[in-house]
Structure 1
Amino acid sequence: MSDLTVSLIQANLHWEDVPANLAMFDQKIDSIKERTEVIVLPEMFSTGFSMQSSKLAETMDGSAVQWMKKKAKEKNVIITGSLIIEENGEYYNRMIWMLPNGTYGIYNKRHLFAFADEHNHYKAGDKRLIAQVKGWKICLTVCYDLRFPVWARNTLQDNGAPAYDVLINVANWPERRSTPWRALLQARAIENQSYVIGVNRVGNDGNNIYHSGDSSLIDPIGEIIYHKAHDEDVFTYTLSRAHLDELRTKFPFMRDADQFMIL
């Protein structure tokens, strides 16, 4: 299987301003000159981490989803990030995996952040999404999910292959808890023998909570390939399939793992 090129966009979001955020990400995506195949945006990239779900939610035909479709087609890339979505009278913090042809996968955030009252404004998801591109399997998670390793557990399938190769976490994770953010990203990479991509926002949100970003790309043994704090940034990198396969062959730890599943 071939390598995979990804781009991480760390941005200062405009609070509850969908048009401004879409225009900003238009510019940032247009600034990417290298050929890339997957672009990762932060959690609630069109609004910031707002509890105004009924005010800000859109349907899957809404402006931000349509923008993802248009931009993915225009750039011939996959774009992923989460949005506030309303469906059948329920509100979700929904991560979308948008393909260039307009088809998409969805992942509804499983672990809602009760500390910020998220559980009273959104409905939790109950299904993982492992997306695929170029033979790579990619597990999608959102922010607080990162604290719960069982949900993100990588296991060997019946064919002997791991369930996924890359774990993506998109976040609005405040600076006051940046040490756990950095440590948990690294831990998830080590324990799951996968690349981990964490994309966070920077700057103050509408509640005057500061976010330092600390977006990161970590290899399957926990080596930090990329880390950026405080500043907006766009980073593109090619994940090596050979490196991943070599590490898993040399250190076949997953075959000794406990077998369990979430009911």
Structure 2
Amino acid sequence: MKIRIALCQVDMEWEHTARNLERLESVVAAAEADVVVLPEMFATGFKLRPAVVAEPQDGLVVTTMRRWAATYKKAVVGSAVIVEEGTYRNRMFFVKPSGETQWYDKRHLFRPGGEGRDYTPGDKRVVVEYMGFRFLLQICYDLRFPVWSRSRGDYDAIIYCASWDNKRRDAWCALLRARAIENQCYVIGVNRVGTDPDAVYIGDSQALDYLGRTIAGADSGEWTMSVTLDLEQQRAFRESFPAWQDADDFRLEP
């Protein structure tokens, strides 16, 4: 069983939702993949003051993602700023061509940048099943917290969408590899490029296999690259090297 994933490393205009969505449609349309992954807050840039760009769940960003998925017959993944019952969420969506939409609210809010000041954290891990694969959804700073992403035998790949500052690029690359190795899973990390008023983003988006080997990656610039994940190969490796059977048992609390 195989699936094609497109990593879309893109820049975006600060706080210009409609223009970003208009420009990124061609990126989604051209991607040769079953699943297209975009960066964190791909329609607005990373916003620490969410009221400026926040939308309801049925706002322009999510309805556009649904239209893309239905029109181009591929799942679309990325995060957006959502307002819900007076709270703001950094919410990652996995939108299927059927219109089915699942989401994950970022658990670990970026304390050094003040994200926790205005956003409400999530408290649930979310695994999405699509085309026989199980994907754990994670956002940016979540990458630093291995317990939250520890495999319990419940997923085959982790998808991280990010706005990861260039000053911490070594940590990004090292931690993506660590998550792949320790969980014996595929890891897809999609970061943005360009600048915003607070940071510079180099990119370094990459896909890694269950051994921590790089399948695809690039440092700077806008690009889209598609990779193939092979579930049978992953399962064969996990059977031949069953480190997962020796994992420490624990329970996550909200």
SS at match of 1:151: helix
Give the match for residue 50 of structure 1. Answer: 47
1:169 maps to 160
* Structure 2 partner of 1:159: none
| Structure 1 residue 140 corresponds to structure 2 residue 137 | yes
Aligned identity (percent) is 40
Q: Give 1:222's aligned residue.
A: 212
Identify the residue that residue 41 of structure 1 maps to in structure 2: 38
2:246 to 231, 256, 259: 256
TM-score, length-normalised on structure 1? 0.94
Which of 234, 238, 249 is the matching residue for 1:244? 234
Return the offset for 1:190. Answer: 0.2
CA distance in 1, matches of 2:28, 2:87: 31
List per-residue Cα deviations over 1:29-56 (Å, max 9, x = no partner): 1222x3x211100001111111121121
Q: How do residues 201-220 of structure 1 correspond to structure 2 at under 5 angstroms?
A: 201-207=192-198, 209-220=199-210
Residue 4 (structure 1) shift:
0.8
Aligned to 2:4: 5
Q: TM-score, normalised by structure 2?
A: 0.98
In the alignment, which of 60, 73, 76 is matched to residue 57 of structure 2?
60
Please tell me the residue identity of whatever aligns with 1:111.
H
Structure 2 counterpart of 1:24: 23
- Partner Cα separation in structure 1 for residue 246 and residue 111 of structure 2: 35
Among candidates 186, 190, 197, match of residue 195 of structure 1: 186
**In 2, Cα distance between equivalents of 1:105 and 1:69:** 11
Task: Map residues 65-80 of structure 1 onto 2, 5 A cutoff.
Answer: 65-80=62-77
How far, CA to CA, are the matches of 1:12 and 1:55 in structure 2?
19
The code of the aligned residue for 2:130 comes to: V
Runs (5+) with no aligned partner, structure 1: 156-161
Paired letter, 2:228: T
Listed as ranges, the matches of 1:62-101 within 5 Å are 62-101=59-98
Distance 2:12 2:223 in 1: 13
Distance 1:103 1:60 in 2: 13
The alpha carbon displacement at 1:183 in A equals 0.2
Q: Identify which of 156, 179, 186 aligns with 2:177.
A: 186
C-alpha deviation, 1:242, in angstroms: 2.2
- How big is each residue's C-alpha offset from its partner over 1:32-83, in whole Å with a ceiling of 9 and x where there is no partner? 2x3x211100001111111121121000110011100100000111111000
- Runs ≥4 residues deviating over 3 A: none
Aligned partner of residue 136 in structure 2, secondary structure: strand
Gaps of 5+ in 2: none
